[in-house]
Amino acid sequence: MISLRTNPARRRRPGVVAAAGLLATLLAAGPAAASPDPGDTSTARTDVSTAQQAEAEAAIRSGEIPGVDEIVHSDNITHLANVPKDALKGLNTDLAFQGKYAYAGNYDGFRIFDISDPKSPKTVSQVLCPGSQNDISVSGDLLFLSTDSSRSDDSCTSTTQPATEKSSWEGMKVFDISDKRNPKYVAAVETACGSHTHTLVPERRNVYVYVSSYSPSEAFPDCRPPHDGISVIKVPRNAPEKAAVVNFPVLFPDGGNPGAPTNPGVSRTTGCHDITVLPSKDLAAGACMGDGLLFSIKDPENPKIIDRVQDNVNFAFWHSATFNQKTDKVVFTDELGGGGAATCNDEVGPDRGANGIYDIVGRGDHRKLVFRSYFKIDRPQADTEVCVAHNGSIIPVKGRDLMVQAWYQGGVSVWDFTDSSKPKEIGYFERGPVTTDAVTTAGPWSAYYYNGYIYSNDIAKGLDVLKIDDRRTDPAKRVRLDELNVQTQPDYFDH
């Protein structure tokens, strides 16, 4: 592990310069490769036709879409700050929060910001630890990082290595962040098929980690089919070095959605992409490739399925899930195109690559997920812009169901699903295309509401801080949290 600390008021010490040199050496070998299936995978530049390029340029001239890298936003949104990438040059990924700090994942490691002044976030430290996609969360003095690319070992100086080799490593890393300026790597747990994402179920003495991963192969010694469940890790707070897998509950005893050719255009279920838990209600929702799940976590080591749904008409890849505060709705996202395609256009339409809004009806173990509607941004996007429904969070307002969400180059959307049959966008922030001559991966990976502000981790541009001023969202400014991992959804009104 290399810690790259930044203090703009002082000259760099020789040790930091050396660390930066090592960073450049390691990155010269190339970024960590993601899993070769849908789910935040494509990072390559893809050329477009001359006609598509001309169409994008005409749309810019007419004002239909913003110009290249031009920032536009609704009247109720203010762009307060942008902090570009620094030492870590890989793709920016997820965010977590704790007190006055924001933690930002990156394919090359993670970065800690001091956000005590949201208009001027300051870098506290940067840690080099390559291993896509470095999904990140925090609990107390512990930080958790997902590795979903086959590595030579579990160290922060590992290199890429084929998953066909038995010695290769993927899984969860644990850091001690009691000293924010000098995080310490304290534990690693290998998990089947790695860890694409993870979700914390925190308790007083232990933190349970639900590890989502997928895409097994008979050729992978540590990731063979059937891969029909999730890994559950138990991490003792006082002895994180004793972290270990304690269960692998099978969620799809029938194998899950078979995908094509039975269901053309739908991903075959071979695990889960993301899980959101609501610990105060002992409830979880799983977005699992071809399936959506509702399950009980009363016993966190042994989650129990309550209901399971599929959408074999419009959903391609169940990506993530968000509960409303009353726990009578859940929003599932569809990552059509695997995070590498332009899907916010007339050709794809309003229902494919959208959010699916489901009501939760019934009681206890008899609850059911009932589909109500789709929501997709209707702001025009060029065919050169990778646009996809991605990570978002609730904006906590009693009596309303409001959400902020990242859409890659579709920007940040604030929308209302209080009426689950008639969702509508009420605010937005976005940049214009990165270029008009190729399809590129950029834009917000995550957009979350935390203590009065919206924080967006842009894949290419860095950390953005936004403020929304709107009578519908203003009551949320009174809600303060000490910690937020969005996939560990809090009961906002107990704070």
Rounded Cα–Cα distance for residues 98 and 404 (Å)? 19
pTM for this entry:
0.92
Query: Residue 206 forms beta bridges with which residues?
Result: 236
Q: List Cβ<8 Å contacts ≥24 apart for 166-172.
A: 166/221, 166/222, 168/222, 170/131, 170/194, 170/195, 170/213, 170/222, 170/223, 171/147, 171/195, 171/211, 172/144, 172/145, 172/146, 172/147, 172/198, 172/209, 172/211, 172/233, 172/243
Rounded Cα–Cα distance for residues 61 and 66 (Å)? 9
pLDDT tens series, the chain, 495 aa: 655 544 333 222 222 222 332 232 223 223 233 333 333 444 556 788 898 899 999 999 999 999 999 999 999 999 999 999 999 999 999 999 999 999 999 999 999 999 999 999 999 999 999 999 999 999 999 999 999 999 999 999 999 999 999 999 999 999 999 999 999 999 999 999 999 999 999 999 999 999 999 999 999 999 999 999 999 999 999 999 999 999 999 999 999 999 999 999 999 999 999 999 999 999 999 999 999 999 999 999 999 999 999 999 999 999 999 999 999 999 999 999 999 999 999 999 999 999 999 999 999 999 999 999 999 999 999 999 999 999 999 999 999 999 999 999 999 999 999 999 999 999 999 999 999 999 989 999 999 999 999 999 999 999 999 999 999 999 999 999 999 999 999 999 875
Tell me, what's the pLDDT at 10? Answer: 29
One-letter amino acid of 476: A
